[in-house]
Amino acid sequence: MAIESFLAMLAAERGAAANTLAAYRRDLEGAEEVLGDLLHADRAALARLGQAWADLAPSTVARKASALRQFYGFLVDEKLREDDPSAALPRPVARRPLPKILSHEQVELLFRQAEEEAESARPPALRLLALLEMLYGSGLRATELVALPLSSVPRDAPFITVSGKGGQQRLVPVSTRARQALSRWLAVRPADGPYLFPSRGKHLTRVRLFQLLKELALRAGLDPAKLSPHVLRHAFATHLLEGGADLRVLQTLLGHADIATTQIYTHVDSARLVALVNERHPLAGGARGG
């Protein structure tokens, strides 16, 4: 079956994760329910999908159309079809929302609170500081951070090995501050289990990480609704870009397969610059005197 062959290619050649494969399967099989056998569908048939998808959000239509374009590209590459009818698919314009970020001042408040609590040398406080340093200092995803094995932290190099989406591994630099926080945590870490942040025989969960950060935000006088592991990852990326980091370097650090995903941060930085001009320019808020 063509869909099965396509999914097998995604798994073997692109390292697609199980959730990604399931999403592609749903989109392709959903289109097949409307059109019948996708292998023999023509341009006129694909054009009808626009009407079938009329009530869906533009982002959903874009995702479904992308799955079909990749599918038909695969069929052509594999000589299963001579033509690619996917040009007839709808192309909605979906604006990607800008990610939430924290200001430098808000980050400082967060770290000041975590560092003051870590002075107690209590294991929960030292763990929280290490988690915070890794989220903001290395830009890790929540799932990557909580599942870090103890063996991923080398003793003699400022890097850790991270297993990201699709099982793809990358080296992520660890700042001097983060290494110090990790060292303090390792000195009190329970000596059981293979994970860097163990919890109840396994590792700390994403849900618990969210809770810990929101509780810290409250204690630091910040709105907990504005803080999450992903917000700290966005802050890491945006603040690096503000400091002059190259977009390709940022793509590698974040583990993005496509540079287009990373480019969203250029829009965030541009929005920040516009806001800065509007707020701080001498002519802001009033007309120029004649």
Active site (catalytic) residues: 141, 165, 230, 233, 256, 265
Question: Cβ contacts of residue 180 below 8 Å, gap of 6+?
Answer: none
Contact 216, 229 (CB under 8 A): no
CA distance 126 to 141: 20
Of 238, 235, 236, 233, give the one whose Cα is nearest residue 265: 238
CA distance 159 to 225: 31
Write the CA distances from 106 to 221, 241, 260, 275, integer angstroms: 9, 18, 28, 17
Helix (H, G, I), strand (E, B) or coil at 149: strand
Helix (H, G, I), strand (E, B) or coil at 172: strand
Q: What values do phi and psi take at 195, rounded to 5?
A: -95, 150
The number of beta carbons lying within 10 Å of the beta carbon of residue 216 is 22
